[in-house]
Amino acid sequence: MTTMRFVLSGGERVPAIDVAQMRAVDRSMIEGFHIELAQMMENAGRNLADLA
């Protein structure tokens, strides 16, 4: 499998994951840390708003 990468404006290369890998991350967070998907989305939205 080829790892996709994003390149930031400063030239830093950031790895990206595909849909199946993201689902596995979500499942691990829910099962391992008991953080629900809605809470993850709320946290992501809040952090994005802070950055904006």
* pLDDT band of 3, cuts 50, 70, 90: low
- What single letter denotes the amino acid at residue 29? M
What pLDDT does 23 receive? 94
Beta bridge partners of 19: none
pLDDT over 70 at 14, yes or no:
yes
What is the rounded distance in angstroms from the CA atom of residue 17 to the CA atom of residue 12? Answer: 16
**What are the pLDDT digits (tens) for 15-29?**
888 899 999 999 999
What is the rounded distance in angstroms from the CA atom of residue 26 to the CA atom of residue 38? Answer: 11
Domain hosting residue 11, numbered range = 5-51
pLDDT average, residue stretch 31-44: 95
What pLDDT does 2 receive? 56
What pLDDT does 46 receive? 97
Per the structure, the count of domains in the chain is: 1
